[in-house]
Amino acid sequence: MFIDAEKATESNPGGHSVTLMCKVLGVSRSGYYVYLAARPAAEERVRQEDELAAELRQIHTGSRRAYGAPRITAALRRKGRRINRKRVERLMRERGIRGITRRKRRSLTRPDKKAAGSPDLIGRDFTAAEPGTRLVSDITYLPTLAGWWYLATVIDLATREVIGYAMADHHRAELVVDALKMAAGRGALEEGCITHSDRGSEYTSREYRTLIKELRLRQSMGRTGSCYDNAAAESFFGLLKARSGPRSGNPTRLPAPTSSASSRSSTTAPVCASTPSTSTSPRSRPGL
C-alpha cells in the first residue's frame, strides 16, 4: 500500500506523516488504522483460499478434469472439510477450473412390442442392505478407434461396484447375457436377487430370461422412455464417459476398445444420478 511504503519510520526517516498522506489521498486516518489492524486476518484468508484452491485443482486433475463443483464439494466433505458448495463454485470460477458438461445420451433402448414386460421391483429406490440382493443393468455405446463399441454392465446396489460387464461390436441379447453370467460368477448372488433394467429387447429376450430363471433371480424393469427408473446405471455411464472420453487426447474418442474394460472390475458407480453421496458403501465382498 502507498501509505505503508511512504510513511516515516525508523528505516525510512525521510518519509511523510500518516496524517498528511491520508489528507492528500482523501481517506480518514482512523480508516487507515482499521485497515492495518484487519490486514493480518485478510492475509490469512487469502492463504487459506490458496490452499483450498490447490486442493480443488488436485481433485479436479485426479478426475481427469471431469468433476464440477458438486462432485468436488462432495469429495472435500468426504475428506472431513466443512465447506459450502457456493464457495467451491466461486473459487473454481476465479481460478478457471471447469468440469465436463455431459452430452445428451442417445438411447439404445429398443423395446420388443411383442414381449411382455416385468414389474418394477425397484421403484427408484437404488439402495440395498446386503450385497447380491439388488442389481441394476444397462447398455451404452462407446466411440473407439475401432468404431462403435457396446458395453453392458451389472452394478450391485449395495457396494456400487460393477460386478459384471461385457463388450462387443453389437448389442444383441448375448451381450447382456455375458454380463449377467460374469456377475453371477463373481457376485455371490442371493436366491431371489432382483436384477433391474430398462425394457430393451435385449432384456426381454428369451436367452436373458432363461438365464434369470436358471440363476433363480427376479427380473425387474422400469418404464419405457424414463431414464430415472434406471438412474443408478445411467449415472455410472455418464461419469464413465466424462472421465474416459473428453480432454484425454482425441476429444471424441476413447484410446482403444480395451481401455475401459481393463479397469472396470474396480470401478465404483456413483450413489446418485446428479450429486454423489458424502459417504461410500463398504466393500463387503473380498476379491472384487
Q: Are residues 77 and 159 in the same domain?
A: no
Domain that holds residue 245: 134-266
Task: For residues 254 and 177, state if they share a domain.
Answer: yes
- Whether residue 280 lies inside any domain: the answer is no
- Indicate whether 106 belongs to any domain: no
What pLDDT score was predicted for residue 277? 38
Residue 6: inside a domain, yes or no? yes
State how far Cα 174 lies from the chain centre: 29
Per the structure, how many domains does the chain have?
Answer: 2
Per-residue pLDDT tens digits for 237-279:
777 776 665 444 334 444 333 333 333 343 444 443 333 333 3
pLDDT at residue 99, as a whole number: 81
Same domain, 171 and 81: no
Helix (H, G, I), strand (E, B), or coil: what is residue 163?
Answer: strand
Residue 16 has phi, psi (to 5 degrees) of -105, 165
pLDDT of residue 66: 80
Q: What is the pLDDT of residue 244?
A: 62
Interaxial angle between packed helices 69-78 and 85-95, expressed in degrees from 0 to 180 and rounded to the nearest 10: 120
Q: 139 and 262 share a domain?
A: yes
Give 193's contacts (C-beta < 8 A, 6+ positions apart): 132, 133, 134, 135, 217, 218
Residue 145 included in any domain: yes
In a domain, 85, yes or no: yes
Q: Which of 95, 115, 149 is the last residue before a domain boundary? A: 95
Q: Residue 249 has what pLDDT?
A: 37
* Residue ranges for the chain with pLDDT beneath 50: 246-288
Whether 120 is covered by a domain: the verdict is no
140 and 255 both lie in a single domain = yes
Q: Are residues 44 and 139 in the same domain?
A: no
| C-alpha to C-alpha distances, 59 to 63, 79, 182, nearest whole angstrom | 6, 11, 32
Does residue 83 lie within any of the structural domains? yes
Domain boundary among 44, 73, 95: 95
Tell whether 139 and 244 lie within a shared domain: yes
In a domain, 28, yes or no: yes
Cβ pair 189, 215 in contact under 8 A: yes
Do 34 and 140 share a structural domain? no
Kindly state whether residues 147 and 232 are assigned to the same domain.
Answer: yes
Distance CA 196, CA 274 (A): 20
The CATH number covering residue 153 comes to 3.30.420.10
Identity of the amino acid at 195:
T
